[in-house]
Chains A and B, each alone.
Chain A
């Protein structure tokens, strides 16, 4: 079994990722990029832990931030205790503490929530999420009120290998290490009997019962383990930002992790990783470029739900299958042909949206200032000219996309038919 789980190809792939993750900050010496990579590393663990529920066990949770947040708060208090009294722990080992805290929260709350699956579970998780979030503001003693709890990660004695974890790059190394360990552990879990049973409980609970498994127990165990990894992610956030506020465990955070996981693809182990990277980048980079980012975000999300409900991972997986079947080459010209009109369509849409923001939301704000200023100076938005032009581009893009897209789709369908035909 083990050799099947960690075969050569996989070892190479994982090792390559690890090396790449470590190499990135050395190539791009930018504080911003390192911060962004840290955020991504944390979100990868969080999204993967969420997918243990949604993807693997079929449990839709609206309150996953609870475990993440509890892990973060406990870590922060622990960090402050170490800072004051010392103790056997060091900063580098704190994620373990956060993970255990998340797990413990899972043991307590999961006992209540996992009795039922489906909608009932979703609603209970929503209710408990709201309750915990409300409590966070009511108990400033533990949660620190609005200011949150802060600490200093450069504490403790016997710093591992001379690292103080003070500089962001060292913190990044720690995050990569923990993220990697957690990812390997979560992947290994999918291969265990428990992981398999979780899939069975997701797909056909009655049958799982008949075979003699207690579905409630499987759900409970999965939730506890998922809490463990969410706690680790929360712990890393606490160490990375050195401040934890109540927003780490509110509904917004729970919503973001759901979005990430879904956009990445819940049907594949690596899906949430893609989602976490993509959404973090969108939030931080696009958020810095245009103040319409929330609108783009919403549109992108709706597009994904309607067009690629399996997430990005499923799109990649299909390409991979086509590649393996030797059909990918056949699709390339079609992809290239459809890319142009899609780009035209996007350009038109972006133009329309940015112009609307420039006109309606007033003077541009954010680092996206320049774009708006240029538009204000160069284009006269109160005249119909630029609007007609943007509308024209959009319409042309739409018509072309539909036309060429239709052909691409036909080619796509025939390729898929060949693919499945080959298989059956």
Chain B
């Protein structure tokens, strides 16, 4: 019985092997949820990577004449499955992996990659992180084999609090978040940083709610309203964010919301008009940042993949930086690529991305923007076909979002 299964497995695995590597020269395994509830996020990311590799690398000569290719591996959002998929990828000859969704999966992958590299020094693997923002990944748990291309939660809060520092209209702040690591971190940094920068701001309330379980946010809004807050800070994402905004609109709450994730992956569509002049976000880019080539890339992308909206500029940055590192190192050996990526300063549309050597955290310009009616001028493009788009309120330079790191990196 078992033997038969093993044969099928071997057949299946070899079919995958042949299928996956037919043309690939430089292969990167994309391990993220491609089925189940978070599949939309994973699929959008994969499409972004494929398009970026094609347009920004392969059409411009590739990597030492070779093509860069991304292959999807479905981890179903699960930390355990992430490790199985990593093994599958390694079996198929992948030496580079990327993952972005879920700090749980990212922790799992960074652990697995560290252990694999320690136990198999001749077949090392390198992990590019494009969206998992838990600060510990570049602090306590930092690794030579991990590079992060997104700003982490702490850096984002630094940028938001710098903005709040200057806005004297802000008097009372309410913090609401999902009851898990990310929500806790957002709450913690908000309190710490505001206490340092604006002693006069009062934190009038702090609520944590279980992630993905609240249907009706009206009671929370009633509470925010009763607290008299003029500003709400939230790390919520997905439906927890859209529902929160909808409930605020229904109850006529006039406070502004500082968010991390209102900009894409269906959230603008879900909140629609409810978010007008109410919702602010912090991102490394949005459609109305005047960037000629990225704008064209985004428009082409949106046309090519209807229903999927270009969101991750950092995906483009990552693909180009990895390609450049390989070209500079004249090698696709993970260690050589890692050394070439360290301290790289890469010119992109929005300015410069710097990969800090001490913790492998990318530093890049960030933007604070507000959801407003698209007018064809300052708000040239709307977001996800809603008629509303993002209007830049402030630009945070690469230098201003830098924070010290506690990383003590073990280098091979």
Interface string of B133-161 (1 = CB under 8 A from A): 01010000000000000000000000000
A312 to chain B minimum Cβ distance, whole angstroms, is: 11
Identify the stretch in A50-58, A90-98, A359-367 within 8 Å (CB) of chain B at 4 or more residues. Answer: A359-367
**In contact, A27 and B6 (Cβ under 8 angstroms):** yes
**In contact, B91 and A31 (Cβ under 8 angstroms):** yes
- B75's nearest neighbour on chain A, judged by CB, is A287
Identify the stretch in A99-107, A147-155, A198-206 within 8 Å (CB) of chain B at 4 or more residues. Answer: A147-155
Q: A146-B181, A366-B34 are known; give 19 further A-B pairs, CB within 8 A.
A: A24-B6, A31-B87, A32-B90, A33-B6, A35-B87, A140-B184, A145-B181, A147-B136, A150-B111, A243-B79, A247-B79, A285-B9, A285-B13, A291-B39, A365-B74, A366-B73, A367-B16, A367-B71, A369-B71
> Which of chain A's residues 136-161 have a Cβ closer than 8 Å to chain B?
137-138, 140, 145-148, 150, 152
Inter-chain CA distance A24–B7, complex, in Å, is 10
**In contact, A289 and B15 (Cβ under 8 angstroms):** yes
**In contact, A242 and B115 (Cβ under 8 angstroms):** yes
Inter-chain CA distance A243–B104, complex, in Å, is 9
Inter-chain CA distance A297–B61, complex, in Å, is 42
Whether A226 is near chain B, meaning CB under 8 Å from some CB there, is no
A379 to chain B minimum Cβ distance, whole angstroms, is: 17
Which residues does chain B contribute within 8 Å of A166, judged by CB atoms?
115, 119
Cross-chain contact of A237 among B5, B50, B80, B87 (Cβ < 8 A)? B80
Whether A30 is near chain B, meaning CB under 8 Å from some CB there, is yes
- B22's nearest neighbour on chain A, judged by CB, is A370
Whether A208 is near chain B, meaning CB under 8 Å from some CB there, is no
- A244's nearest neighbour on chain B, judged by CB, is B79
Which residues does chain B contribute within 8 Å of A21, judged by CB atoms?
2
Whether B162 is near chain A, meaning CB under 8 Å from some CB there, is no
Number of residues in A with C-beta < 8 Å to the partner? Answer: 55
> Which of chain A's residues 10-65 have a Cβ closer than 8 Å to chain B?
17, 20-21, 24, 27-28, 30-36, 39
B190 to chain A minimum Cβ distance, whole angstroms, is: 17
List the interface of chain A (C-beta within 8 A of B): 17, 20-21, 24, 27-28, 30-36, 39, 134, 137-138, 140, 145-148, 150, 152, 166-168, 237, 241-243, 245-248, 274, 277, 281, 283-285, 287-289, 291, 293-294, 362-363, 365-367, 369-371
Q: Please classify the interface of chain A as helix (H, G, I), strand (E, B), loop, or mixed, using the class held by over half of its residues.
A: helix
**In contact, B102 and A146 (Cβ under 8 angstroms):** yes
- B118's nearest neighbour on chain A, judged by CB, is A166
Inter-chain CA distance A243–B78, complex, in Å, is 11
Which residues does chain B contribute within 8 Å of A32, judged by CB atoms?
13, 84, 87-88, 90-91
Cross-chain contact of A147 among B3, B36, B47, B134 (Cβ < 8 A)? B134
**In contact, B9 and A287 (Cβ under 8 angstroms):** no
Can you list 23 residue pairs at the A/B interface with Cβ under 8 Å? A21-B2, A24-B6, A28-B6, A28-B9, A147-B136, A150-B108, A166-B119, A167-B119, A242-B115, A245-B104, A247-B78, A248-B80, A277-B5, A287-B35, A288-B74, A291-B74, A293-B35, A362-B305, A365-B72, A366-B74, A367-B20, A370-B20, A370-B22
Interface string of B23-44 (1 = CB under 8 A from A): 0000000000011100100110
**In contact, A31 and B90 (Cβ under 8 angstroms):** yes
> Which of chain B's residues 91-110 have a Cβ closer than 8 Å to chain A?
91, 102-104, 106-108
Interface residues on B, range: 35 or more
Whether B376 is near chain A, meaning CB under 8 Å from some CB there, is no
**In contact, A20 and B2 (Cβ under 8 angstroms):** yes
Whether B179 is near chain A, meaning CB under 8 Å from some CB there, is yes
Whether B180 is near chain A, meaning CB under 8 Å from some CB there, is yes
**In contact, A294 and B36 (Cβ under 8 angstroms):** yes
Which residues does chain A contribute within 8 Å of B50, judged by CB atoms?
363
Which residues does chain A contribute within 8 Å of B121, judged by CB atoms?
none
**In contact, A28 and B79 (Cβ under 8 angstroms):** no
A251 to chain B minimum Cβ distance, whole angstroms, is: 12
> Which of chain B's residues 366-398 have a Cβ closer than 8 Å to chain A?
none
**In contact, A146 and B15 (Cβ under 8 angstroms):** no
**In contact, B76 and A287 (Cβ under 8 angstroms):** yes
- The 6 lowest CB-CB distance pairs between A and B, nearest first, are A145-B181, A370-B19, A146-B181, A147-B107, A35-B87, A32-B91
Which residues does chain B contribute within 8 Å of A138, judged by CB atoms?
179, 210
**In contact, B184 and A145 (Cβ under 8 angstroms):** yes
A288-B16, A369-B71, A370-B22 known; A241 and B181 CB under 8 Å? no
Which residues does chain B contribute within 8 Å of A30, judged by CB atoms?
10, 13, 91
Inter-chain CA distance A30–B181, complex, in Å, is 36
Cross-chain contact of A140 among B72, B181, B308 (Cβ < 8 A)? B181
**In contact, A362 and B308 (Cβ under 8 angstroms):** yes
**In contact, A20 and B3 (Cβ under 8 angstroms):** yes
Which residues does chain A contribute within 8 Å of B16, judged by CB atoms?
288-289, 367
**In contact, A365 and B34 (Cβ under 8 angstroms):** yes
**In contact, B74 and A285 (Cβ under 8 angstroms):** no
Whether B211 is near chain A, meaning CB under 8 Å from some CB there, is yes
Which residues does chain A contribute within 8 Å of B182, judged by CB atoms?
146
Which residues does chain A contribute within 8 Å of B211, judged by CB atoms?
137
A32-B87, A134-B210 known; A369 and B12 CB under 8 Å? no
B293 to chain A minimum Cβ distance, whole angstroms, is: 23
A166-B119, A277-B2 known; A366 and B72 CB under 8 Å? yes
**In contact, B181 and A147 (Cβ under 8 angstroms):** yes
Inter-chain CA distance A140–B178, complex, in Å, is 13
